[in-house]
Amino acid sequence: MDKRTLQAVINDQREAPAPKTLITRSIYKDLTPLKRAKQVLILSGLRRAGKSILLGQLRDECEEKDYAINFDDDRLANFKLEDFQTLYELFVEMYGPQKTFYFDEIQNIKEWERFVRRLHDQGNKVYITGSNASMLSAELGTRLTGRHIEINIYPFSFKEYLNYKNQSELKQGNLTTVQKGVLKGLFNDFLHEGGLPEYLEANNIEYLQSLYQNILYRDIIVRHGIKNPQAIRSLVYYLASNLGKECSFNALKKMLGLSSATTVSDYCAYIQDSFLCYFVNRFDFSLKKQIQYAKKVYFVDQALAYAVGFRFSNDEGRLLENIVFLELKRRGHDVYYHHEKKECDFVLREGLDINTAIQVTMSLENPDTKEREFSGLLEAMKTYGLGEGTIITKDEFKDEAIKHEGKQYTVHIMPIWAWLLEGSSNYS
């Protein structure tokens, strides 16, 4: 690749304006100690979720910060493996010898892992961001096994949303009546605005639609050579319109008019690899059965799902469920759903055992709703030998002791805004 073009890209990217609003992400405290680790540090996640900003913050705190490039640049469309050597030589020419490298959206370059492996083996520290899960995992698995640490980056959590809105004091609990009202109002905003930083700045639905089209075209259709783009568009539209609902590959095959459930399975894998959405397995101790059961789908951001899919007026409960799922993922849980005679939205596995059961619903005021939610939760608690379970609602806070089939159970009912702040009685 032409050396002058590379130099122009490096210089232009150094001059790019900093984001207007910069908040410290909750994950940052976990990243700081990793700067001392020898392994390659990888930040993975959805495009525009804040990976590049986090990488920039890490750079700012490092003594060596000059060997940096973002490969999501049209001028680097023809960058190849052999061009890494030219890039390395150019870095040394421009900034002198250094041992720390920062590569943004590196999955755009074929066989990038070969060069990164060489840098690592020569004792350099390498930071990477990427927006495609399978390409990262496949390449890391073949060339960088045991030599990397991967951290998943999600859109803003509710805590981070409060920081963005300059309302971090509301996270402390023991709130006044006015403060609690403000907190609830901010959660209502978060419910519909989501946590993508640039969308919060722009507040324009067209930004979300443009981001979606970019991911769909570049990360899915072009990357995987999809010959039926309309089918995958229809699939994403359906998934975004049915958050938290069970869907099977065979049912999706019929809906899309495709000849093979394997094609649908592949399409869903491509969509998940782009970090656009996640598919959750029904829990079973048999892995074979887990694979055969229908999946539940959740989007990486509730506002993005709203922009992409079709919404009914009573869909807020599904958005609440989506938010809870994302928070469970942020907290590092292994998430499943339970479905036997009844259904429980989330069960969390630790080791070989299920240790937590959670239901999510807008309200328990309707007796039929309360019966359904309690029945599903109690079935899950009984199945996995749990004495306690949680029901997350829009705005209810109490504990209930229940005797069921001769056993005593405790159900913790709490509003989602308190649970997202690691809820306790401090918010009641």
Between 3.40.640.10, 3.40.50.300, 3.60.20.10, 3.40.50.720, what CATH number should domain 3-153 receive? 3.40.50.300
Average pLDDT, the chain: 92
Q: Measured between alpha carbons, how far is 11 from 372 in angstroms, rounded to an integer?
A: 60
So what's the pLDDT on residue 136?
59
CATH 1.10.10.10 segments of the chain: 204-311
Q: What are the pLDDT digits (tens) for 259-312?
A: 999 999 999 999 999 999 999 999 999 999 999 999 999 999 999 999 999 876
Mean pLDDT, residues 245-260 taken together: 95
CATH 3.40.50.300 segments of the chain: 3-153
So what's the pLDDT on residue 205?
93
Q: Tell me the two tokens of residue 281.
A: 């397995």
Neighbouring C-beta atoms of residue 305, cutoff 10 Å: 28
So what's the pLDDT on residue 345?
98
Confidence of residue 144 (pLDDT cuts 50, 70, 90): confident
Q: Measured between alpha carbons, how far is 384 from 354 in angstroms, rounded to an integer?
A: 6
4-13, 96-105, 118-127, 302-311: the lowest-pLDDT one: 302-311
Helix (H, G, I), strand (E, B) or coil at 17: coil
CATH topology (fold) of 204-311: Arc Repressor Mutant, subunit A (1.10.10)
Mean pLDDT, residues 405-423 taken together: 92
Sheet hosting strand 388-393, strand order edge to edge: 334-339, 343-350, 353-360, 388-393, 407-415, 398-404
Of 162, 99, 178, 255, the residue nearest 170 (C-alpha) = 162
Q: What are the pLDDT digits (tens) for 158-209?
A: 999 999 999 999 987 788 999 999 999 999 999 999 999 999 998 899 999 9
Q: What are the pLDDT digits (tens) for 36-60?
A: 999 999 999 999 999 999 999 999 9
Q: Is 360 or 315 the better-scoring residue by pLDDT?
A: 360
Confidence of residue 19 (pLDDT cuts 50, 70, 90): confident
Share of the chain above pLDDT 70, in %: 95
Is the pLDDT confidence value at 228 over 80? yes
So what's the pLDDT on residue 143?
73
Rounded to the nearest 10 degrees, how much is the dihedral formed by the CA atoms of 376, 378, 382, 385?
A: 110
Predicted TM-score of the model (pTM): 0.94
- Taken in order 275, 276, 281, 286, the sign of the CA dihedral is negative
11-20, 233-242, 358-367: the lowest-pLDDT one: 11-20
